[in-house]
Amino acid sequence: MLRNIRNDFETYGRTFRSAGFWAMFVYRFGVWSMNRRFRPWRSITSAVYLFLKALIQVTTGIMLERETRVGEGFHIIHPGLLNIHPDTVIGARCGVMHNVTIGSNMSQGAPTIGDDVFIGCGASILGEIKVGNGARVSANTLVIADVPDGAVAMGVPAQIYPNMDRLRTRKKKPKGSATADAKSEKA
């Protein structure tokens, strides 16, 4: 637990002023308390967790249950109105903006989010779907189908755009480079 809290402290810029850090602190404490074997100790630490969780929900609007599986480097970039289903699995180094909903209480199953995923503000990821590694979910997007690795999801409902590396334009060679000079000599 302490190693995870230390990593979260680094992720949030080595400051105690971040509401995202405190939400992650309470989450890490909740996971730790849930795994206590001595039942009276687990009951006491769980009661402390439930109080702290309610305090975080009221002050920051972040609802992150201890049953959720969260990878290292999870970053709540702008805390506020973040609701994550308890069965959700989130990979390492993911970033989430404010006003995001991941999972729904109206259907079975919850999303699985890969590593290095960014989720923009106002996005909703609903249902038992998979968001691939390195994917991007744009602001105000409704994702109700799988998103492949490296793709961008955008719109309501989300349109899936292919790997953005293929869409980037090639940089033109500056004048005076060997290839530009060779082309001008041939002409």
* Residues identified as active-site: 98
b/e sequence 105-139, b meaning 16+ C-beta within 10 Å: eeeeebbbbbbbbbbbbbbbbbbebbbbbbbbbbe
Angle between helix 19-34 and helix 39-60 axes, rounded to 10 deg = 160
Distance between CA 3 and CA 21 in Å, rounded?
14
Strand partners, 112: 89, 130
Q: Is there a contact between 8 and 21 (Cβ–Cβ < 8 Å)?
A: yes
